[in-house]
Amino acid sequence: MRIKTKNETTNNNPIGIFDSGFGGLTVMSAINETLPLENLIYFGDTAHVPYGSKSKNIVIRYSKEITAFLIKYKVKLIVVACNTASAFALPFLKKTLKMPVLGVIKPGSKAAVFASRNKKIGVIGTEGTINSRSYLREINKISRCRVYQQACPLLVPLIEEGLNDDKITDIVVKKYLEPLLDKRIDTLVLGCTHYPLLKHILKKNVGEKVVLIDSAKATAYEIRNTLYKRCLFANSRSKKFLRFYVSDNPDKFKTIGSRFFSKKILNVKKIEMAC
């Protein structure tokens, strides 16, 4: 009889992913590309979006209810695919849940430190993420860097309105980035799940020399490492599925969500939330 090596142990239970709405689909898309055999369940809290301007306690309350929902599907790992929820609720979820729980802030911070040469890093995100100073703390846990933060509350609505390529978005982006560029950052962390959709406009404004860090990809690599270490990879024999749940407006989710996921989303189920 042949003894199984670490990589041969498998677990076909799904990975649970959640966000305040559509943004986490950029993370789900990166996970799906990096780990094509994994079954994925996504929950978008469209009844409560945006989280970026809400208080810590309320975001923790929503996150608790969503993770309880995901656990019913026997998820093997939970991804907090929202920067604001990672900033506010991740420590609580890590303490209270039995399975591994990963957020997007640590992987993004690691990637930023790795990319920066002059150790001057800019971070853009929602008010909640920026005020929590979570990126600043994570980055400085890894290496001493100068971290310059900028809340960009207008970007989420502009992206959701589909104005990614609009002149108005270009003007707003310029205004937000000016103070960071004045500090001569060489790395910019996209600390909000929506911002990968603005990569081209951001790149145009920061110039070739500034590296953009997309937390979605960094998070997908971190998940791959965790699955490897814990022998939790799915195998090719399971019938792959991607499922989508929301707390409100499934039709809107299909339309807007497909832009974030870069693939058509066909089936979305609405779930009643208690809070």
Write out the residues near ligand DGL by the rule CB under 6 A: 19-21, 23, 49-52, 82-84, 126, 129, 156, 192-194
Shortest approach of ligand DGL to residue 207 CB, angstroms? 25
Nearer to ligand DGL, 13 or 32 (CB): 32
User: Shortest gap between Cβ of 59 and ligand DGL (angstroms)?
Assistant: 9
Look at the block and give the residue holding tokens 């303490």. Answer: 95
Output 110 or 194, the one with its CB closest to ligand DGL: 194
Provide the CA 241 distance to its chain's centre, in angstroms. Answer: 20
CB 270 within 8 A of CB 246: yes
Q: Which residues are catalytic?
A: 82, 192
Candidates 79, 84, 69; CA nearest to 27 is 79
Angle at 79 between CA 73 and CA 85, to 5 degrees: 115
CB of 274 to ligand DGL, least distance (A): 20
Which stretches of 5-151 are assigned E, i.e. beta strand? 15-19, 40-44, 77-80, 101-102, 120-125, 146-151
Minimum CB distance to ligand DGL smaller for 83 or for 116:
83
Task: Spell out the residues 6+ positions from residue 237 whose beta carbon is closer than 8 angstroms to its own.
Answer: 12
* Residue with the CB atom nearest ligand DGL in the bound state: 52
DSSP state, residue 41: E
Is the CB of 78 or the CB of 232 nearer to ligand DGL? 78
Supply the minimum distance, in Å, between the C-beta of residue 229 and ligand DGL.
Answer: 26
Residue 9 phi/psi, 5° resolution?
-75, 135
